[in-house]
């Protein structure tokens, strides 16, 4: 009898204090942040790319790698990977991921749009991108009046925003010497930049690769 009374009292108490935690709810799960997941685990890997690409560089970024500008924008974590096509024409895919304070992302994206169009020898135009959320951008930089451009072996692929913004305080004008397509998107507080550079580029292929990367973000 005593145990039955205790059970009744417990049920009454839970009905009164449900909001205090006697019942559980998953209606509002905690947000996923860059520090809650491993950025390398959601980066593009070999199986996400067309045939012929090999991993040529990867690097987890630390506070020591980022500028005061990135830190002021709420930088949390970073990772970059580079894939190079082993056969001609030697196309390079550079995939950068970073976590930022979510409220700062509009400013970060605006910086990308400015900093990554600063090659003095290229002309630029926007491309439409789909399936990458609301905060997505895409553009192509190309050598005017040239369908193909030879890439000097000594010239590395230029880094997109999550490298430029991290290492420099403001955009600089430079000569790039190669065509590229760049796609930028965010999900939650995670920012990703995919740049594909080489003598010939395929914007449709670039968008498909970006969509694969977007789908990997929790």
What is the 8-class DSSP label of residue 29? P
Q: Which residues pair with 55 in a beta bridge?
A: 83
Residue 67 has pLDDT above 90, yes or no: no
Range 108-134 burial, b when 16+ CB lie within 10 A, else e: bbebbbebbebbeebeeeeeebeebee
Tell me what the mean pLDDT of segment 177-199 comes to: 94
Split at pLDDT 50, 70, 90, the class of 172 is low
Angle at 122 between CA 144 and CA 115, to 5 degrees: 160
Split at pLDDT 50, 70, 90, the class of 151 is very low
pTM over 0.75: no
Tell me what the mean pLDDT of segment 65-76 comes to: 89
Split at pLDDT 50, 70, 90, the class of 114 is confident
Give residue limits of the domains in the chain.
32-215
Residue 159 has pLDDT above 90, yes or no: no
Residue 118 has pLDDT above 70, yes or no: yes
32-215: CATH topology is: Protein Transport Mog1p; Chain A (3.40.1000)
- Could you identify the residue written with the tokens 């930049």? 193
């Amino acid at each position: 009898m005593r145990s039955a009374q205790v059970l009744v009292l417990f049920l009454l108490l839970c009905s009164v204090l449900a909001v205090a935690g006697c019942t559980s709810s998953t209606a509002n799960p905690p947000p996923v942040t860059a520090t809650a997941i491993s950025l390398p685990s959601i980066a593009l890997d070999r199986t996400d790319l067309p045939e012929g690409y090999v991993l040529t560089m990867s690097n987890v970024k630390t506070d020591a790698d980022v500028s005061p500008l990135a830190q002021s924008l709420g930088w949390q974590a970073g990772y970059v990977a580079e894939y190079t096509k082993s056969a001609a024409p030697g196309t390079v895919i550079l995939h950068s991921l970073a976590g930022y304070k979510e409220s700062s992302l509009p400013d970060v994206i605006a910086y990308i749009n400015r900093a990554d169009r600063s090659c003095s020898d290229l002309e630029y135009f926007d491309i439409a991108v789909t399936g990458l959320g609301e905060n997505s951008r895409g553009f192509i930089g190309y050598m005017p009046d040239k369908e193909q451009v030879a890439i000097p072996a000594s010239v590395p692929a230029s880094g997109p925003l999550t490298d430029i913004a991290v290492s420099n305080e403001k955009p600089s004008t430079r000569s790039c010497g190669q065509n590229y397509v760049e796609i930028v998107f965010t999900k939650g507080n995670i920012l990703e930049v995919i740049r594909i550079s080489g003598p010939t580029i395929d914007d449709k292929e670039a968008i498909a690769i970006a969509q694969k990367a977007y789908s990997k973000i929790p």
